[in-house]
Structures are given as structure tokens and as C-alpha cells.
Amino acid sequence: MKLIKNGIILTAETEFEGDILVDGEVIRAVGRGLDGLADDIIDASGKYIFPGGVDEHTHFGSFGGRLFETTEAAAVGGTTTVVDFAPQDKGDSLGAAIEKHAARAAGVSCVDFGFHSMVMDMQADTADQLKELPEHGVSCVKMFMAYKGTPFYMEDASILKVMNESRRHGITMMVHAENPDMISFYTERLKAEGRLEPISHAFSRPPVTEEEAVRHAIVMARVAEAPLFIVHVSTRGAMEAIRDAYAGGQSVYGETCTHYLVLDTSFLALPDFEGAKYVCAPPLRTREHQQALWEGIDKGWLNAVSSDHCALAGGFETKKEGLGDFTKIPNGIPGVQNRISVLWSQGVAKGRISKQRFVDLIATAPAKNSGLAKKGQIAPGFDADFVIFDPGYRGIMTQKDNLEGIGYGAFEGFEMIGRPEQVFLRGMLIAENGRFTGRKGCGRRIFAKPYAAAYDHYRSEPL
Ligand code: DUC
Ligand code: ZN
Ligand code: ZN
């Protein structure tokens, strides 16, 4: 057995100096005086130890993102589990789509992986297929109010139908909430004015387009009596809508993403089309919204920070499809590697959030949101996924250390305060000081359980 000694263990509730006893792939005990049982001892004096990160929102493959061979980036950044969106090809059932995507990850992924379902081809029996998701180890399904004119978009009738069915099987309904008709309205106006540069992507999706859609999704969830999880919240108004609905007794939750916390609209205005690298949906916002999101994650109104990692295969060249027309710039920002570093460096180290909130946001809550019963905590019985973190490290996030595989990162030049020194996945050392040291393909498929965190306080109340 392995013993990690003398580190300061961080959990979502507390911190204490202690030891972690690892038996094979699992944490056997956490405490003191466990030396006698171990044959391999690692001294973590002066270091923090926190649970391996769980990134509940990644696109390894969907939206043109690079596939699972680039998950080394997650590992070196301290993320030991990704929960990826399984795209549904036309004609496939939801189950078939999940298995197709699982086959892309098996033997390739360098971290453990689970899946969320994504409805992209609404067939007569799609809602009925939700009952099969638990067999495929999936506890969440995502639908898109945005992207009208593409297979992602779903009209209200389909969303209501899926919401209504989701609660009958303990599936958490996730919604990408942006109002597509308002976006079309703004887009046409910008085009007529000849404003076609990358920053117009943000002007075409102002905060009101997200806030209105979030409020609308919340009302639909009330009608369907279903719990609701809003993904990638980027605005104050959307965050407050979620907060207020929850305070009013509705099971409504949300996450934000690393980039919305630290990158603002000025990045979209970078010269030489560089702004295109930061095109994503919802778009980057102003500092005022960033401040609101920091407050939201501090107070728990948004309960997780994901990366929405979407490292477009082809990198910047792919973005250039939108040269001269912002509507053709493929959406997506990479970020799986630096999610944890950004949150520590800009959050904990700057006094914006506590170490406990940090752990909850990057690991404990996302595991619970996704129904991963053995992930996201340092406690007996949980998978031995943890990070030995050196808080004294100082560096810069730079492309030369980036393993996301597209030639640029989203947080280039950002200060790195502290660093994952060693990253363990189920007891295996998989990364050390920014280098992947594990076996490629060592990641394992993780099956989620239904009735995840969105059901914790759920009561059905017909309107
Ligand atoms: N927005 C999404 O909804 N998905 C992936 C990329 C993006 O920017
Ligand atoms: Zn989305
Ligand atoms: Zn996404």
C-alpha cells in the first residue's frame, strides 16, 4: 500500500494535516498513524493535497474538438476525470451515440472519462430512450436552445418533452441557453452594417440573449417539473435568475467556465484575427459580468467551474474559416489544462475564493453533478485520484508547456501561482511537474448513477 504523508489535505469542507493510505486504486484511510500499513511512502510536507479535478464539461470530439489523445493536457493540469459530451449522429439512438463516443475514448484517454448525452436528432422515441441512459452510465442530457439551423438546435416542444421524461428516470437536464432569434436579429443588423470582425460575434449575442433564454429554460423546467442545470453561465443576469429560482424552491443549478472568469471581451478585439481564438458561445463578457461570476461561485449560486474545453482540430487555421465573416468562425476555446491553475492563481491566491470552495468547484461538486459516486473527494472508498500541489511554485502559462494540441492556449501569459507537482489517477502517478508520466490510454470509463445532485432537494410541484 502507498502512504502520502504530512500533506495538508484540502476538502470541500475543511483542511487538515494528515496522511492518505492508498490500497491499489482506492483510498483506504485518511488520518494519522497509518505508517505501519504502507510499503511505499511519499512525503508531501509543505504541499497541499486535493482531489483530482473533475471537469464536467468537455468536448473531445464534438464541435470539431480534438479527440481523447489530447487528454494528457487534463492530467498535467490536475484533472483526473473528464465528463465529455457524446454527439448524436443523425439516425443514432442516444445509447448508440454514447457507445460510439466511448469507443473513441477507450484505450486512448489518459484520464478517466464519463459521458453526458446530447440530443441532436429528435426522433419520435428519443424522449423514451432517456430511460436507457443509466445502462450506459450516463446521468445528464444536454439540449441546445441556441444554434438554430444546425443539428444542435431544439425547439421548446422537444425540450419540454425531454425535460418531462428526464425526471422520471433521474436524468439531469442540461440546457445551453441562448435565444437564437434574438441572436439572428443582432447578426443581421451587424452584417448589414458590415461589422464582420470576430468581436461582432459577442455583439451578436449580448447578455440579454443569454439571460432571456435562461429565464425561459427555468420556466420550461417548472412546467415540466424537472430539475435543471444551466451550462456555461456567463452573465450576471443569468446567474441571478438561477440564484433566485433556487431560492424560490426550484431545483435549478448552474456552472460557469474558467474563461468567463478571467478573459473579457477585449480578447475578441485582438488584431490580426487573433480575436477569433476566443470565439465561443456564450461569448466572453465584460469585467462587470466577471465580477458577478466570481461572487456567484464564492456564494455557491453557481456550483462548479468547468472548462467547456473545445480545442478545435486544425487550431487557428480552422478559426480562419470565419475570416471576413464572424458567423463562420467555429466556436470553441481550449482550457482543460489550465482550469485548475487559473482557479487557484486567480481565485484562491487572490483571495476571491477559499481553498474549500476551490475544491468543491473543481472536483467535488462536478462529480456530484455528474453522478460519479467515487470521484471528487479524498475519503475512504473513493478512487485514489489526488493532486500533490506545490503552492510555492511561480511560473507563467505558456504554449511551450501546453499539451492541448492546437498550437495555442487560451491563457497564454497568465501567472501561475502554485502547480500540480504530482497527479495520481487511481493510485497511479500520471503527471509530474507539467509532464505526463502515465501510460497513454490508462484512463477508464466511469459509469455515472442517475439521480445526481440536481435531485438532492427536488420536489415535484405542478404549476
Ligand atoms: N460553445 C458550445 O456550446 N460548445 C462548444 C464550444 C462553444 O463555444
Ligand atoms: Zn453549450
Ligand atoms: Zn460545451
Instruction: Give residue 182's Cα distance to chain centre.
Output: 26
Taking CA atoms, 158 is separated from 88, 165, 171, 215, 257, in Å, by: 15, 11, 16, 17, 27
- Measured between alpha carbons, how far is 319 from 239 in angstroms, rounded to an integer? 29
- Does 319 contact ligand 1 (Cβ within 6 A)? no
pLDDT of res. 461? 75
Task: Look up cell 465584460; give the residue.
Answer: 286
Per-residue burial over 86-122, b = 16 or more CB atoms within 10 Å of its CB, e = otherwise: bbbeeebbbbebbeebbebbeebbbbbbbbbbbbbeb
E strand residue ranges, 259-385: 304-306
Burial degree of 148 (CB within 10 A; 0-12, 13-18, 19+): middle
User: How far away, in angstroms, is 107 Cα from ligand 3 center?
Assistant: 24
Q: Which phi and psi (to 5°) does residue 141 adopt?
A: -130, 135
pLDDT tens-place string over residues 54-87: 999 999 999 999 999 999 999 999 999 999 999 9
- Local structure of 393: helix, strand or coil: strand
Alpha helices, DSSP H only, in 167-230?
180-192, 199-203, 207-224
pLDDT of res. 68? 98
pLDDT tens-place string over residues 271-308: 999 999 999 999 999 999 999 999 999 999 999 999 99
- Does 63 contact ligand 1 (Cβ within 6 A)? yes
User: How far away, in angstroms, is 96 Cα from ligand 1 center?
Assistant: 22
- Which residue's C-alpha comes closest to atom 1 of ligand 1? 281
- Which residue's C-alpha comes closest to atom 3 of ligand 1? 281
Ligand nearest to the CA of 280: 1
How high is the mean pLDDT of the chain? 97
Q: Which of 148, 232, 404 to probe ligand 1 with, by most ligand atoms within 8 A of CB?
A: 232
Q: What is the mean pLDDT of residues 140-159?
A: 97
User: How far away, in angstroms, is 310 Cα from ligand 3 center?
Assistant: 7
Beta bridge pairs of residue 253: 229
Taking CA atoms, 327 is separated from 184, 193, 311, 397, in Å, by: 10, 14, 18, 30
- Does 283 contact ligand 1 (Cβ within 6 A)? no
- Does 175 contact ligand 1 (Cβ within 6 A)? no
* pLDDT over 90 (residue 152): yes
- For the CA of 333, the closest atom of ligand 1 is 8
Taking CA atoms, 449 is separated from 96, 198, 379, in Å, by: 19, 41, 19
Query: Which of 233, 245, 396, 419 has the alpha carbon at shortest distance from 308?
Result: 233
- How sure is the predictor about 397, in pLDDT bands with cuts at 50, 70 and 90? very high
* pLDDT over 80 (residue 416): yes
